[in-house]
Structure 1
Amino acid sequence: MMNRIVSTLVVALACLLPVTALAGEINLFVAASMREVVNELSADFAVKNSGVTFKKNYGASGALAKQIENGAPADIFISANVEWMDYMKKKKLADDRSVATFAYNSLVFAGRPGVKAASLHDVTKLEKIAIGSPKSVPAGEYATEAFRKAGIDKQLEKKLVMAKDVRECLLYADRGEVDGAFVYKTDALQVAKSAKILFTVPQQYYPRVTYPMALTVTGGKKAEAAGFYRFLQSAEAKAVLAKHGFLVK
């Protein structure tokens, strides 16, 4: 009888104690095209976990992976293609168990109104085309693969203007410094000022744009990073992705 009373008191006291809140800084390394989504999701998470702060680094997936490899503090990595996540796994920088698909996107050609281009072959008639540097920017890699499969890679060789990331590509198109740019659909819809989507690149010409995410090896040991990682997989996060034009299936 006494043991039962003691047990009941312990449970009651535990219920009265405050729940331990997540606290600490989370370092995010995220593909540039995910900026608006991750800004919104991190703000929502911070409201629910007032002790959590974020340090965000947006850029080309390859450049981000290299920074992490060189010792930059990172807890969560979101890439714009599978290859750079595989690189992180190979270098033992990502927690293999946490690798998951975050979202999908598609490749489009955007240019100012008046530019006449309705297909990949029409692009060969233009003078300057911006793409992200394929060595580090997945969007540029997707674009060059599309050129190759469409048989127009040789025709475009001397017309390409390389950008450090997909946002810079779009900026060139917005300013009219190029006739158009190969960018992600979400960027063209959300960020472009004067440039408009002229056509969507047919999916058969390039691999599906996939955004894998993972905790880094160090991030996997941090409760706040693991908490945000779980939040990124929630229905709430999927709704935010869809609102910004990303696909979640």
Structure 2
Amino acid sequence: MFIRKIRKLRAARMIILNLMIACVLLLTGCGSNEASVHTTEPTKLIVSAAASLQDVMAEVKAAFQSKNKDIDVQINYGSSGALQKQIEQGSPVDVFISAGTKPMNALVKAGLVEEKMKKALLYNDLVVIVPGSSIAAWSSLDMLKQKDISRIAIGAPESVPAGMYAEQTLKSAGLWDELNNKYVYTKDVRQVLSYVSTGNAEAGFVYRTDALTTNKVVIAYPVKSDQHEPIIYPIGIIKNSKNTAAAQKWFDFMNGAETQHLFKSQGFRTATSSQ
């Protein structure tokens, strides 16, 4: 009788032990499943874009990510020439949007962007800006020769496309050498905007879209398009991108109707509006 009770007690203990082991295994399985769900991270897409795109890109990025939650877009802004050099030096970039054709063509020549993987995305216009308190509506670029204009902010022509267009414009007008002692060179077009808006320069050359982002400056003179090369913003997928599928999605979205409408609302001209 006593032995029978001991056997029943042992059997009960074994049942309880087996149930505990089963529960542990079940919980462990659930935990591993949850871990596998949470370890899936979005694809990181790195885009290098011209500084003059900074405002509109905030809207474009938000619109893109609302439709592509599996892609985390990170945008690096700067002068197009500096961004070109970073890519040439191996910076992990997937897509490049330049404010001029020269930096993009340099990457094509270096074999870093395939010709078939680039496209003209946007067009812009060059303008001369002055502080918001100034009298605008200049009749010509000769107004830059005024004595009260001692500093003219220009992006460094060798690395900033807007600066290159400004140099071409001033040479076309026969003023480049005459105004040489007034130039204040900047790292990108947004720094020109900052200098003029804060009064650190009495005039500056920026894109029309930059001038429209603040009421602290006014457009004094819209530069004639025949005074410089066409201002084209090409977009290209970097050849050694490790995220080509995501890069292609971004490339296609940039050229889509919704995004083109956003660009036009910010003052850019698109391929269709420039025809």
TM-score category, normalised to shorter length: 0.7 to 0.9
Structure 2 residue runs without a partner (length 5+): 1-40
User: Which SS does the other structure have where 2:179 is aligned?
Assistant: helix
Which has the higher Rg, Structure 1 or Structure 2?
A: 2
Q: Residue 121 of structure 1 is aligned with which of 142, 155, 162?
A: 142
CA contact (8 A) 1:220 1:226 kept: no
CA contact (8 A) 2:136 2:218 kept: no
What's 1:6 paired with? none
CA contact (8 A) 1:117 1:123 kept: no
What's 1:93 paired with? 112
User: Which SS does the other structure have where 2:113 is aligned?
Assistant: coil
Structure 1 residue runs without a partner (length 5+): 1-21
CA contact (8 A) 1:23 1:49 kept: no
- Give the TM-score normalised by structure 2: 0.79
Shift of residue 39 of structure 1? 2.0
CA distance in 1, matches of 2:51, 2:245: 25
What's 2:254 paired with? 232
CA distance in 1, matches of 2:136, 2:70: 52
Compute the RMSD of aligned alpha carbons.
1.5
CA distance in 1, matches of 2:62, 2:71: 10
Query: Aligned AA for 1:114?
Result: S
Q: Which residues of 2 match residues 203-218 of structure 1 at below 5 A?
A: 203-218=225-240
- Give the TM-score normalised by structure 1: 0.88
CA contact (8 A) 2:97 2:233 kept: yes
Does residue 263 of structure 2 align to residue 241 of structure 1? yes
Q: Which residues of 2 match residues 1-249 of structure 1 at below 5 A?
A: 23-112=42-131, 113-115=133-135, 118=138, 119-125=140-146, 126-190=149-213, 192-219=214-241, 222-248=244-270, 249=274
Query: Aligned AA for 2:142?
Result: H
CA distance in 2, matches of 1:167, 1:205: 22
CA contact (8 A) 1:28 1:76 kept: yes
Alignment coverage as a number of residue pairs: 227
Q: How high is the sequence identity, in percent, across the aligned residues?
A: 35
CA distance in 2, matches of 1:132, 1:91: 25
